[in-house]
Structure 1
Amino acid sequence: MTRNPLSKKAVSLAPSGIRKFFDIVSEMEDAISLGVGEPDFDTPWRVREEGIYSLERGRTFYTSNAGLKELKIEISRYLERTIHVTYNHASEVLVTVGGSEAIDLAFRAMLDSGDEVLIPQPSYVSYLPCAVLADGVPVTIPLKHENAFRLTREELEAAITPRTKILVLPFPNNPTGSVMTKEDLEPIAEVVKEHDLYVVSDEIYSELTYSGQHCSIASLPGMRERTLVINGFSKGFAMTGWRLGYVCGPAPIVEQMTKIHQYAIMCAPTTSQYAAVEALRNCGKDVENMRESYNQRRRFLMNEFRKMGLQCFEPFGAFYAFPSIQEFGMTSEEFATRLLQEEKVAVVPGTAFGDCGEGFLRISYAYSLEDLKEAIGRLEKFVRRLRG
C-alpha cells in the first residue's frame, strides 16, 4: 500500500471561502464582482517609475534578509509620523512578502505546541490556519453586530486561559470595516498587560480610516514591548501585486522572525522594496486621494442600504461593508449563491470569515462608482423580489 504523501495538518485546513464565487464569476458574462479585497486604483505612477528605474539601474540582486536599509529607515520614520511609535530600523523592522507572511512568521516565531491564539471574528481568513500550521491552538472570539464588531474587555477576558499567549487585533477590520478607537483599545491593553499576553496587531488598512486618525495599540503605555505591528503597501498604496509588507516590534521577536524568513524566503522582492521607499517618502497625497474616493463610495453604499431597508452598521475603516441579510431566512452562502445566479453579482458570504459571520455579506467598495451603482441596482431588485 502506498504511503499517504499528505500531512494531516495540511489536509485539515479548509480552503479560503473568499475565492469560490470568483472562479464562477470569471466564467460568467456580464457578471459584476464586489468581492475582491483589492484597490481598483493603479499603483501611483511615481512608485511604478521608481520600480522601473531600479530595474534600469540593474538593482536586481538580493537585499539583506531583513530588507533594504533605506526602506527600513523610511518605515521607521513613517510609523513615527502616523502611529507615534519609534522603532530601531536595524533591529526592530523586518520587510516581508506581504502582510500575510508577517502573520505566518509571527506565529511560527512565538508559538509552542498548545499555545493559544485569540482570534476575534469575523476577520481575515489567514489567522486561523497560520496558527494551526505553527502548532498553536486558535480560539475564536465571536464579535457582535450590536457592538459594531469591536472587541470588548468582557469578551477578551472570557476567552483567556492559562495557555493563552497571543491576541490578534485585526483593525481596521476585514470584512466588517469596523475600527477601534483609542478609547476602545485602552481597556484591551489593560487586560493584555494583566495576563502577560502579546498582541499581533494587523494594521494593513490603517491608511483607510474615515473618522478620526487610526490608533495603534502599540502606542498605548506599556504596549510597545508586547506588540507586533504588521502593515504593508497592498491596500493603502494600491500595491497588491508588488507583494510587500513589514512587521515592527521587540527586537528579540523580530530576530527570530528574520531567522525563519531567511530560510523560507531569503528576502522580499528587490524592485518592490525600492519602489516602496518612494511610496513612503512622496505618495502621501496619492493615499489621501484614494481614501477620499473610497469614502465617497462608502457613503454611497450606506445611503443605498438605507434606501432599500438593508440593515448595515456604518463601517469607518478598510473598504468593506457588512450588511445583514438575516431577515430573508437563508444562509449567507445561499443568499450569495442566488444573488450570483439570478442577478450576476458576486459578494462574499460572511461565513468565509468565521461562523459568526452567518447572516451577513462582505461587499467591497474598491470598485468604481459606476460598477457600484449597477451592482447595487441589481441587489435592490433581488431584495425586492425576496420580500415579495
Structure 2
Amino acid sequence: MSPNLALNQIVAERRAEGEDIVHLGFGEARLPVFGPFAEALAAGSRHNAYGPVDGSAQVREAVAGYFTRRRLPTGPEQVIAAPGSKPLLMALQLVLVGDVLLPCPAWNSYRPQAELAGKRVFEVPIPKECGGVPDPARLRAAVQAARAAGGDPRIMVLTLPDNPTGTLAPAHIVRELCAIAEELDLVIVSDEIYRDIVHDPATPVLSPAEVAPERTVVTTGLSKTLALGGWRIGAARFPANPWGERARRGVASVASEVWSTLAAPMQEVAAYAFAEPPEIRQRLADSARLHGSVARAVHGIVTDAGAECRPPAGGFYIYPDFEPLRGALNRRLGVTDSASLFQYLLDEHRIAVLAGHQLGDDPGALRFKIATSLLYGESRELQQQALEAADPVRLPHVAAVLERLRDSFAKLAG
C-alpha cells in the first residue's frame, strides 16, 4: 500500500483505540466543500450515462481556458479529464517510452507507478535551495551514467510547487532543466497540481511547458487547490504537435480500458471549477493564504527546535532535517535514522509524519514530511473559521495544536 495511505490507516486505527494523535502525514487539503461545488454535483447527479473518454466538450473547453490563463495557450483537443491526476500520471508511465528520472526525495507514488509500468527509475538529488526537480548540475551526469549502464532514461518528472518540500523551483532552474531535456532528448511530465497554492501571489511560477512546449505534458487537478480530493477530478494538457497528439491518444486508450470516463456528476463540477468564475478565484486566494500562514508557522517551530528546513513557498508541506541534532537524538533517544525518528515521534509524542525514506530519501537521514494542511480543525466549522481568518494561527484551536508541536519538537534537543 502507498505509504501515506498506510499511515492514514494506522492513525485511524490508533485514534479508534483512544489515542490523541496529531496527524501530519497525509497530503489532504482539509477544508470544507465549497457550497457551489455541492450544488454543481447535485445538478450533475441527474446524468448517469457514460460520457466521452477524454471528457465532455464543456469540461475540456474549461480546462483549456484554465491553462491558457496561465500563459499556456491550449485548445480543448489537447486536454484529457480523468478521475484525479494520479491515474493520468500512471497512464503516462504506460504510454511514454523510456525509463524515468525522478527528483530525490519525491512524492511517494512516482516510483511505484514507473515500476508498475516496467520502467527503471533513476533518482537525482534535488537542488540545495529547492525541491521538486532534479539538480541540473547532477542531471546530465546521471543520464549519461544510466545510459552507459544499459538504462534508457527518457522521462523527467518535475513537481511545481513541490511535494514533499513545499518549495518552488525558480525560473532559472526550470530553464536549465528544459535546456538539458532538449540536449538529451528527454520528455517532461510536469505535475502542477499545487500550482495555485503559491503562498505569495507575486511569486511567478514558470511551467516547463512555457519553455519546452513541444516535449512537456502538464497534469493538474482539484484535489489540493480546491480541497476535492475524494471527488477525484484531474486533467492533463498535451503538446500541440504530432508527438503530443500520439501521447494524448495513448492516454485516452489506457483510460478507455481502465476508468472509462470522469464520472458524469464530477464533469459538472469540473466544468464549473476550471472556468474559474470570481468566487472560485477568491476561494483559491483564501486557501493559498491559509496554507501559507500555517506552513510558515510550522516551519518556524521546527527551525526553532534546531532543524534545517527550506522555507515553504507553495503547497502545504515542509521537510525538516534534524541532522544538526543527530548526536543528541542518538545519545538520549536512540534515534539514528528516518524510521526510528518517525517511530519516536509517533509513540512518544503522538505525532504522525511521513518518514523521508518513504519518499526515496536516504534511510539514514533524519528527515520527514509534515503536511500542515491537517491542522485547520477536526470539524467543518473549525476549518471554515481557519479559512476565513485574517490570521489563522491565532485562532484558539490552531494555536493550541501549534503549541503542542512546539513543545514536542523542542524536546528533541533535550
Q: 1:243: which partner in 2?
A: 232
- Residue 118 (1) aligns with residue 118 (2): no
Return the alpha-carbon distance in structure 1 between the equivalents of residues 53 and 10 of structure 2.
Answer: 39
1:98 and 1:71, CA in 2 relative to 1: closer, same or farther beyond 3 A?
same
Consecutive unaligned residues of structure 1, counting only runs of 5 or more, are 1-14
- Secondary structure (helix, strand or coil) at the match of 1:252 reads helix
- Residue 22 (1) aligns with residue 8 (2): yes
- Residue 102 (1) aligns with residue 88 (2): yes
1:204 and 1:126, CA in 2 relative to 1: closer, same or farther beyond 3 A?
same
1:376 and 1:311, CA in 2 relative to 1: closer, same or farther beyond 3 A?
farther
Q: Choose from 185, 191, 194 the match for 2:180.
A: 191
Name the aligned partner's letter for residue 166 of structure 1.
Answer: I
Give runs of aligned pairs for residues 157-168 of structure 1, distance below 5 A.
157-161=140-144, 162=147, 163-168=152-157
Q: 1:218: which partner in 2?
A: 209
Consecutive unaligned residues of structure 2, counting only runs of 5 or more, are 239-243, 331-335, 377-392
Q: Decide which structure has greater helix share.
A: 2
Return the alpha-carbon distance in structure 1 between the equivalents of residues 317 and 66 of structure 2.
Answer: 25
- Secondary structure (helix, strand or coil) at the match of 1:303 reads helix
69-78 vs 347-356, which deviates more? 347-356
- Secondary structure (helix, strand or coil) at the match of 1:168 reads strand
Q: Choose from 65, 70, 76 the match for 2:58.
A: 70
**Count of residue correspondences:** 364
1:22 and 1:241, CA in 2 relative to 1: closer, same or farther beyond 3 A?
closer
Contact 2:296–2:311 (8 Å) recurs in 1 = no
Return the alpha-carbon distance in structure 1 between the equivalents of residues 8 and 79 of structure 2.
Answer: 35
Shift of 1:384: 3.6
1:37 and 1:297, CA in 2 relative to 1: closer, same or farther beyond 3 A?
same
Name the aligned partner's letter for residue 67 of structure 1.
Answer: G
- Secondary structure (helix, strand or coil) at the match of 1:19 reads helix
Return the alpha-carbon distance in structure 1 between the equivalents of residues 231 and 251 of structure 2.
Answer: 21
Contact 2:341–2:366 (8 Å) recurs in 1 = no
Contact 1:343–1:378 (8 Å) recurs in 2 = no
Q: Choose from 36, 42, 53 the match for 1:52.
A: 42
Cα deviation per residue 1:331-355 (whole Å; 9 max; x = unaligned)? 1221121111112111111111113
Contact 1:143–1:356 (8 Å) recurs in 2 = no
1:242 and 1:20, CA in 2 relative to 1: closer, same or farther beyond 3 A?
closer
Q: 1:278: which partner in 2?
A: 272
* Identical-residue share of aligned pairs (%): 24
Name the Cα RMSD after superposition.
Answer: 1.8
Q: Choose from 346, 352, 361 the match for 1:355.
A: 361
TM-score, scaled to structure 2? 0.84
Contact 2:163–2:317 (8 Å) recurs in 1 = yes
Q: 2:137: which partner in 1?
A: 154
Q: Choose from 72, 82, 85 the match for 1:85.
A: 72
TM-score, scaled to structure 1? 0.89
Cα deviation per residue 1:288-332 (whole Å; 9 max; x = unaligned)? 111111111122222323433332110211100111122234212
Name the aligned partner's letter for residue 151 of structure 1.
Answer: P
Contact 2:100–2:114 (8 Å) recurs in 1 = yes
Name the aligned partner's letter for residue 68 of structure 2.
Answer: E
- Residue 322 (1) aligns with residue 319 (2): yes
Return the alpha-carbon distance in structure 1 between the equivalents of residues 59 and 191 of structure 2.
Answer: 20
Shift of 1:372: 5.1
Q: 1:131: which partner in 2?
A: 114
Return the alpha-carbon distance in structure 1 between the equivalents of residues 197 and 406 of structure 2.
Answer: 27
- Secondary structure (helix, strand or coil) at the match of 1:18 reads helix
1:301 and 1:116, CA in 2 relative to 1: closer, same or farther beyond 3 A?
same
